[in-house]
């Protein structure tokens, strides 16, 4: 069952209020500040960028993916 939006908000608030990770807090703060100033990033993407993102999501849905570990092994990482 999917978590309802209200529950997600409470979960996020609880997580942030309990974390001691200042890097995470700063990253969330910067993200929210930027988001509130510029709006949804999607609106700032070109048509080509949006198409490529949608194409990638469709690839994931259809199982056309390569596991991270397989890629790392291929390149000796």
pLDDT tens-digit profile of 51-73?
Answer: 999 999 999 999 999 999 999 99
What mean pLDDT do residues 2-11 have?
86
pLDDT of residue 44: 81
The larger pLDDT score, comparing residue 64 to residue 41, is at: 64
pTM for this predicted structure: 0.45
> At residue 40, does pLDDT exceed 90?
no
Pseudo-torsion of CA 45, 11, 33, 50, nearest 10°? 0
Alpha helices per DSSP H over 1-77: 5-18, 22-38, 47-61, 68-74
**Cα torsion at 56, 59, 65, 68 (round to 10°)?**
20
The whole-number pLDDT of residue 2 equals 67
d(CA 22, CA 7): 24
Between the two ends of the chain, the Cα-to-Cα distance in Å is 37
pLDDT mean across residues, the chain: 90
């Amino acid at each position: 069952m999917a978590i309802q939006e209200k529950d997600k908000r409470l979960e996020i608030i609880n997580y942030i209020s309990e974390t001691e990770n200042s890097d995470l807090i700063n990253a969330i703060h910067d993200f929210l500040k930027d988001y509130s100033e510029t709006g949804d990033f999607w609106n700032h993407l070109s048509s080509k960028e949006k198409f490529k993102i949608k194409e990638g999501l469709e690839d994931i849905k259809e199982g056309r993916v390569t596991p991270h570990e397989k890629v790392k092994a291929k390149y000796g990482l």
